[in-house]
Amino acid sequence: MDEQNTPSQPVPSATPPSPTQSTGGDHPMAEPTQPAMNSATESAPEMPPQTQMEAPMSNQPMSAPSMSAETQMPAPAQPPVDPNDTFFAALGYFGPLFIVPLIARPKSAFCKFHARQSMVLFLLFVVFSVLLFINSLIGSLLTLPLFAVYVLAIYKAYKGEIWRIPLVSAYADKIDLQGLYGKAGKAVEALGSFQEKKAEAQDAASGQTPMKDDGESKPSADSDEQTPLPPAQSA
């Protein structure tokens, strides 16, 4: 009777409990993820190793090569200048001789360019000379650089170079040579007409005085002599 009343003891199972079975707690045991990851990696096909692509050349800055290409470009060659043009252009920088290249080479653009600059430099020379007379210190400080500019301009013109003097060339480009030609022509015509009127006035003034070289203007010696009377007739 005692053997029948005793409860039977559970026989331990040889198989391990499944992950879904309870281990005695309230929550089920978490399923491990490592076997699933291993299975996923085993099932996925192996990809070949990829090589890193270099950045395209368009993304690289092109400023340095472009700048070097610009600096390596040769400057446009200046056409040769006639030696006569260079001589007269250099001669035009000697004070008021800027009119010489305009008369000697009127069709030369090279001579016209340097003649314009020489006009402006000559005006500056006149102004600086007045300042030199008023104040020798200020005048000398301005005249010496102007003299250096004159020397360099003569050298550049004789070498056949077009040297644009800073500030001077800006005013030189505004000079209208055609207008100056017209004004000079009118001045020459006015001077010629003035000389003609002056000559006419002198001739009119000289015409009032008796002329000594003409025999009609002075009484001759024969006019004082009396003409002989005819002989008296006899009765």
List, for residues 54-101, the tens digit of each pLDDT value.
Answer: 555 555 555 444 444 444 554 455 667 788 899 999 999 998 898 999
Between CA 161 and CA 77 the distance in angstroms is: 11
Identity of the residue numbered 207: G
pLDDT at 215: 52
Q: pTM of the entire structure?
A: 0.47
Query: In this structure, are residues 117 and 168 in contact, taking their beta carbons and an 8 Å threshold?
Result: yes
Q: Delimit the domains of the chain by residue range.
A: 83-174, 177-205
Count CB-CB contacts under 10 A for residue 150. 18
Which tokens go with 88? 């007269």
Q: Which residues of the chain have pLDDT under 50?
A: 1-4, 19-25, 27-28, 30-31, 35-41, 63-71, 74-75, 210, 220-224, 235
Give percent above pLDDT 90 in the chain.
21
Query: In this structure, are residues 99 and 128 in contact, taking their beta carbons and an 8 Å threshold?
Result: no
Rounded to a whole number, what is the distance in angstroms from the first to the last CA of the chain? Answer: 248
